[in-house]
Structure 1
């Protein structure tokens, strides 16, 4: 990817801020960090974004200095990262990769946690001994680090289940570029014909597309379509399931779309069927676009976003009947969405919260 360097340009900015990402793939953590980096740069800071893999879906932003971390193996990348960050003069450094936290040669650094850690763990009845081992591994991963939790639920998990010190965990929500999202939603582009339900999610087990397929097959409205925005290794399996349920003609596998907002805005309902999140972008973005939203009450985040009357459209994870019923209700009527209550997610407000992590800023 063009534009990468391993040198630093002297820039007359108030603060020097660094971020580390695995890559620029089209996923939530990557989008969160990119949005933060862009908005902190817009506030006048010098922002460097380190990438362990320079390939990905998202384009580069002109205000950010992209730095590729070299090395064919993890050990080599660790060494290169230590060299690059040593004496670089960062006022703040944030990594989404806890496993590289110790290799960042910066005093004021944080690890951002984008999903409820123990929600990933599976309890196998025949391998019950694995669960405590996995918990201990997570404790080692996050202990003795300063952490940023994207939701209250993530912090609760880190403190109550993994023994992290409460004072070491800051809660700062996901950033959303509200004006940009709404502007992109109004841009011309292809959208499906007729009424449809939209699900923006990678096709991976955690997103539980199968629950949605079963619920969708039982809806009262058998004319509405289901549009899946995303990609993943379960696509073929989901295509077979759609065929077996007799809904293949009503399911659109749309794939990756760099501007899903026009599709979300035009949808009758947006759905999240996930079993675990951090602070789900799809839910917040749907509500920002005033699209009725149905979500599982998974750990964590949806219940912190869908409050008041919207909480009636939260359903238990894996409850296909409840999911079907809530989608049916949302297709017929939905409460007013209070946009003022979503202002805490605005990217500028969130970026200013990150500024408070710099000691000299306070």
Structure 2
């Protein structure tokens, strides 16, 4: 088989504005540059990213199958539909990469060869094992899914957590997410934000991102730099109220989801992240690609694999985070850090190919 005839399929629920969704598009470009025919299969119509014209896109709607009672039965039937669709409309893929829980659950029933799960999150934290009453049942379900195919974890921290909680149930490795530096730098030139001399945080308003910790810490500074918050999510209104309670509402700018956040990141004095957990912390690597300094909590997986120790802060420690914010506000460049060129898309795609060739696991 010639190099140009090789096929990779990336499966994900949708292409909404999340990190995993952006990774799928970026990794697809890496495979394309290596001569692969790249197909993205999604289960929902939702798209919030500019679609790369070098890739092929497919929509196979999952929603009608929700009428089928029983999640396992539903996913098994849908997996058969997915297998038939791929065989008929794409061909025999050399690699199939499953991304996020919905796709993973479906592809655990797939009869196709060469399926690999991409584990984007720290499973114990994203599934809240310590808080969930039936955590043993949940773990059993995840073990049942992830014993079916090899796994790629997006950071060493995610891999360590996976093995500790799920077990070394299959061939497993850690491969960092790809960063398309050229694209990011080009997109960053699209416009100049109206704001100046500001701090930026990019991330959905969800529990893991701990906007509450960030706002409380920021309130302890002199607020000499405004804080821009890019993102949307269910805790946004709650955070707007918190800003009022802390009397910092005039210094906080809620900008919602931005389909191109890169000009905001490029022109920021520095980027801050206060998460309780990350998978890879994509926005850190993207910020470094733009030369923007970053400070971050030293949360499980991601940040400490991308940043020097001095750029890290203890999680959920408002005083320590406030102190680091003050340091960064006085001299942002002390927290500048180099971009790792090993994260460029072609190099990351090559690592996936090497892992896939070494795994040689045929489904079911």
TM-score (normalised: structure 1): 0.88
Give the corresponding residue for 2:194: 191
Asked if 1:91 is matched to 2:94, the reply is yes
* Secondary structure class of the residue paired with 1:158: helix
Name the residue aligned to 1:292: 293
Tell me, in whole angstroms, the C-alpha distance in 2 between the residues paired with 1:294 and 1:336.
Answer: 7
How far apart in 2 are the matches of 1:90 and 1:104?
13
Match of 1:216 in 2: 218
Cα deviations by residue, 1:287-323 (Å, 9 ceiling, x for unpaired):
22221211111111111111xxx31221122111111
TM-fit CA distance, 1:285:
1.1
Deviation at 1:121, TM superposition (A): 3.9
How far apart are the structure 2 equivalents of 1:291 and 1:189?
15
Report the counterpart of residue 50 of structure 2 in structure 1. Answer: 59
d(CA) in 2 for partners of 1:338, 1:271: 14
- Which deviates further from its counterpart, 206-215 or 40-49? 40-49
Partner of 1:104: 110
Number of positions where the alignment pairs a residue of Structure 1 with one of Structure 2: 343
CA distance in 2 between counterparts of 1:66 and 1:17 reads 12
Does 1:159 find its partner at 2:163? Answer: yes
Measure how far apart 1:345 and its partner are: 1.1
- CA-atom RMSD, angstroms? 2.4
Alignment of 1:230-309 (within 5 A): 230-306=231-307
For 1:133-144, list aligned pairs within 5 A: 133-144=137-148
Decide whether the 8 Å contact of 1:17 with 1:91 is kept in 2.
yes
Aligned to 2:124: 118
CA–CA distance in structure 2, aligned partners of residues 270 and 161 of structure 1: 32
Q: Any unmatched runs of 5+ in structure 2?
A: 67-73
SS of match in other structure, 1:257: coil
Q: Secondary structure at the match of 1:199?
A: strand
Q: Secondary structure at the match of 2:346?
A: helix
Higher RCO (CA-CA < 8 Å; seq separation 6+)? 2
Which residue is equivalent to 1:319?
A: 317
What SS does the corresponding residue of 1:264 show, helix, strand or coil?
A: helix
DSSP-derived class of the 1:249 partner = coil
Query: 1:104 Cα deviation (Å)?
Result: 3.4
Task: Report if the CA contact (8 A) 1:69-1:77 is conserved.
Answer: no
Q: Which runs of 5+ in 1 are unaligned?
A: 1-10
Q: Give a deviation string over 1:142-182, Cα, whole Å, max 9, x none.
A: 234200111111111111221124x6112111000012212
CA displacement 1:71-90 (0-9 Å, x = unmatched): 41253633320211347211
